[in-house]
Structure 1
Amino acid sequence: MSKISTAPTLVVGLGCQRGCPVSTLRALLDQALQAHKIELHQIKALASIDLKREEPGLIELAEQLALPLQYFSCEQLAVYQPQLSHRSDIAFERTGCYGVAESAALALAEHLAQAPAKLLISRQKFAQATLALAGAA
Structure 2
Amino acid sequence: MSDDRAASTLVVGLGCQRGCPTSTLRALLDQALQAHRIELKSIKALASIDLKRDEPGLQELAVQLALPLLYFSSEELAGYQSMLSHQSQIAYERTGCYGVAESAALALAEQLLQAPAKLLISRQKYAQATLALAGAA
TM-score class normalised by the smaller sequence: over 0.9
Match of 1:52 in 2: 52
| Corresponding position of 1:6 | 4
Deviation per residue, 1:63-97 (Å, 9 max, x gap): 00000000000000000000000000000000000
In structure 1, what is the equivalent of residue 104 of structure 2?
Answer: 104
Distance 1:6 1:73 in 2: 30
**TM-score, normalised via structure 2 length:** 0.96
Amino acid at match of 1:52: K
**In the alignment, which residue of structure 2 is the partner of 1:118?**
118
AA matched with 1:82: S
Structure 1: where are the runs of 5+ without partners?
A: none
The structure with the largest alpha-carbon Rg is 1
2:136 and 2:77 map into 1 onto residues whose CA distance is 16
Q: Which runs of 5+ in 2 are unaligned?
A: none
Query: Quick one: which amino acid aligns to residue 110 of structure 2?
Result: E
In the alignment, the residues of structure 1 paired with residue 136 and residue 44 of structure 2 have an alpha-carbon distance, to the nearest angstrom, of: 11
Partner of 1:6, secondary structure, is helix
TM-score normalised according to structure 1 size: 0.96
Give percent identity, aligned residues only: 82
Q: CA RMSD in A?
A: 1.2
Q: Name the SS for the 1:27 alignment partner.
A: helix
Q: 1:136 Cα deviation (Å)?
A: 1.7
More helix by share: 2
Equivalent pairs, count: 135
Provide the rounded CA distance (Å) in 2 between the counterparts of 1:86 and 1:15. Answer: 13
1:59-70 equivalences under 5 Å are 59-70=59-70
Write the letter of the residue equivalent to 1:53. R
